[in-house]
Copies of this chain bind each other. A is one copy, B any other.
Amino acid sequence: MDALETRELRYFVAVAEELHFGRAAERLGMAQPPLSRAIQQLERRLGVSLLERNRRGVSLTGAGEVLLHEGRAALDATTAAARRTRRAGGADSPGGPRNRLVLAVKAAGSHELLQKLLDAYAAEHDAAEIEVLLCGICEQEGLLRDGRADVALMHTPFNSLAGFDSEELLTEGQIAILPAGHPLAARKTLSLADVSDVPDLPLARWPRYGTYAPGPGPEIHDQTQLAQLIALGRTVAVVPDSARAWLWAEHTAVPLTDAPPVVTHIAWPAHSRSLALARLVRTATCL
């Protein structure tokens, strides 16, 4: 039983995502016929049919769905291996593994916590160099998985901690951010039901585990966009308390009574064995 080659996985994932051999081939920078053949070989080698070739386009079989999921995970692990090895090698000469960590943080996250963490860690005895990688709303998971980051600050219930090790750092309540002029902005407190049901102010939606939940509200990609939309009176958002730091004059924050608390974790790949990482985690939990 021969193992899958990275190339085959890359090809299959491309086809499975595009559901179209021509487009997938273009994305891969190759011609369509060799791609067709490669997928056929893959199916033959696995002894399993992965794609349903319909008269118009392609669709995934059950096994195809499985390979799409597992293949993505395997590809991420492979590119992570390459990236982390390259980084470890850069400073091989000083002896011992490279003293440098990439920390992924949501750009809109609490500046206060991050600053405290960096300061406390920098004060440690021969601390590693920390490279802060600011990312979008929900990108930390991917960054950790494919090795672009070594450690991340994540926020449940927005991020999923599945597959990572983590430690709890901070718990905070949530607030609603409304356009300053809106009637609800005058209230002392609000409930989730209050803000979910406003006809003229649909609730903003963010990616959760990579996809957007259906709903009438706008899809949020970054914090600036959200702030603008609220200021324009187009939406209302439910966000952690620390978001008060970036409110505009056109915004009003109202505490929510029944929103689930947001917990900030420090998270890292489960199999990590780096000493520098362990020290950073210890610093973080002792803040």
| Stoichiometry, copies per complex | 2
| A266 CB within 8 Å of chain B | no
With a 10 A CB-CB cut-off, give which of A6, A7, A147 has the most chain B CB atoms.
A6
| A31 CB within 8 Å of chain B | no
CA distance A162 to B267 in the complex (A): 12
Which residues of chain B have C-beta atoms less than 8 A from A7's C-beta?
A: 5
**CB 8 Å contact bits of A51-65 with B (1 = contact, 0 = none):** 000000000011101
With a 10 A CB-CB cut-off, give which of A46, A50, A66, A80 has the most chain B CB atoms.
A66
With a 10 A CB-CB cut-off, give which of A5, A7, A74, A273 has the most chain B CB atoms.
A74
Interface residues of A (CB under 8 A from B): 1, 3-7, 9-10, 46-50, 61-63, 65-67, 69-71, 73-82, 84-86, 88-90, 92, 95-98, 147, 162-165, 269-271, 273
Report yes or no: A82 in contact with B6, Cβ–Cβ below 8 A.
Answer: no
| In the A-B complex, the 4 residue pairs with the closest CB atoms | A48-B89, A163-B270, A63-B89, A70-B81
Q: Secondary structure of the A side of the interface? A: helix
CA distance A66 to B91 in the complex (A): 13
Report yes or no: B88 in contact with A80, Cβ–Cβ below 8 A.
Answer: no
Which residues of chain B have C-beta atoms less than 8 A from A271's C-beta?
A: 69-70, 73, 162-163
Which residues of chain B have C-beta atoms less than 8 A from A71's C-beta?
A: 81
22 contacts between A and B (CB under 8 A): A3-B6, A3-B10, A3-B78, A3-B82, A6-B78, A46-B89, A48-B86, A61-B89, A62-B95, A62-B96, A63-B85, A63-B89, A65-B88, A67-B88, A70-B81, A70-B147, A74-B74, A78-B78, A162-B270, A162-B271, A163-B269, A163-B270
